[in-house]
A and B are shown apart, each in its own frame.
Chain A
Amino acid sequence: MAYGIKVSKPGNSVFTAGTGDLFLDTTYPILKVKASGTGSLSITDGGSDSDTISHNLGYVPKVFIYGQVFSVFSGDKNDNYVRYPYYEESAATTSAFEYTVDDSDLVISGGYDYGGSSSNTFSYFYYLFYDEY
């Protein structure tokens, strides 16, 4: 016999409502936050930077990372946030902000090559969950 919790939206019977009419349905896993935080990558044109966040869960967890990027189309840092990974390429210019996650570490990295000498600091935030990838 299955056990769990269902909470339906107003006007819907919790016994018959479809998934879209339920506020909560523990038939499905709910993301559980293990850790979140912020950081920044300091990058000079042609170079890269990375940060390592250890989680030591022993398995690969789900993660979300959002941060600022360098746009090769505008030739400047974008102060708004996008979801990583993020890649741009135009002619001989490239920009890459990405991450890898394994059973012990989340590594957030970025770099750009615009053929200049600018230096920028790119802020990011991450969420790391107990839920397995």
Chain B
Amino acid sequence: MGDFGIRISEADFDVNTTPTESNKKNFVYLSDENTPKVYYAGFLTAADPFSGMTYEHNLGYVPIFFFFLTDSASSPTYYRYVNAVSSTTTITQTIGGYGYLIILEEGSS
């Protein structure tokens, strides 16, 4: 049985080129390579700016995540990256009224 999958190359790079360690960066997508998957993306709201924001992911490992403070959960006018903390079950940001959290379903602890 032959190999099946999807290859999509960048513009001006021949998609029929055999992927190698040095040219995989020239492919937009290779279905035989692992890619981060979005597990969660959404807003969090704190009870007050000093009570903290917590999201329970319960993945059992620390995932790749990005936390941004915002000024609203419905119509934010800015996103500011902050260094929130994660355990194997929760992600917590201690200060701020609103946040936007992205979790990618990869990672280990």
Binding site for B on A (CB under 8 A): 2-5, 26, 28-34, 36, 38, 56-59, 61, 64, 66, 78-83, 86, 123, 125, 127, 130-132
Q: How large is the interface on B (under 10, 10 to 19, 20 to 34, 35 or more residues)?
A: 20 to 34
Partner of B106, one of A36, A80, A131: A36
List of B residues within 8 angstroms of A28 by Cβ = 28
Q: Does B22 contact A (CB under 8 A)?
A: yes
Tell me the residues in window 57-78 of chain B with beta carbons closer than 8 Å to chain A beta carbons.
62, 64-66
Q: Does B45 contact A (CB under 8 A)?
A: no
Binding site for A on B (CB under 8 A): 6, 8, 10-11, 21-22, 24-25, 27-30, 33-36, 62, 64-66, 83-87, 92, 106-109
List of A residues within 8 angstroms of B6 by Cβ = 5
When the two chains form their complex, are residues B106 and A32 in contact, meaning their CB atoms are under 8 A apart? no
Give min CB distance, B19 to chain A, whole Å.
9
